[in-house]
Amino acid sequence: MADEAGKFLRLEVVDPDGPVFEGDVGMVIVPAMRGELGILPRHAPLVAQLTVGEIRVKTLENTWVTLAVSEGFVKVQHDKVIVLADAAELATEIDAARAQEAFDRATQRLEWVKAGTVPDGEEVDPFRESMAMKRAKNRLRVIDRV
């Protein structure tokens, strides 16, 4: 409706498995590469790259919803915010045990590289492991904030 323009944002957070969050909201804060980016209705059109971090959503009831996000992009246009992420999870749906396991696994593998003790038959890519560690740490941090 024309008279509704500028009063709220339509937010869609999508990862390769499909929609993670969809709804009309008051404000969105995303972890852009250059720092946190707050988006309110009537924001100028924008495309920005996202880093591993937290998305905070202010609902129309003035409560906050938190999501963990891995890398991706945000697009803002005409009060519509689309987040296309490598992976995104609602804080309430993060599996803490899985994140802890991923963190421990990456830590172990990076220790092998540092100590020169990578077992035969294992291949460790330090960059991949440090990204896995970053995602896991982020998920654990986001759970803690709920």
Q: Where along the sequence are the contacts to ligand ATP (CB under 6 A)?
A: 15, 17, 70, 87, 89, 94-95, 98-99, 102, 132, 135, 139
The distance of closest approach from Cβ of residue 77 to ligand ATP in the complex, given in angstroms and rounded to an integer, is 25
If the CB atoms of residues 80 and 98 are measured against ligand ATP, the closer one turns out to be 98
**Nearer Cβ to ligand ATP (54/89):** 89
Distance, CA of 128 to CA of 104 (rounded, Å): 14
Gap between the Cα atoms of 74 and 81, Å rounded = 7
In the complex, what is the shortest distance from the CB of residue 1 to ligand ATP, in angstroms, rounded to a whole number? 34
Q: How far is CA 5 from CA 1, 50, 103, in A?
A: 7, 26, 44
What whole-number distance in Å separates Cα of residue 89 and Cα of residue 67?
Answer: 5
Cβ closer to ligand ATP: 8 or 103? 103
Which tokens is 139 given? 């998920």
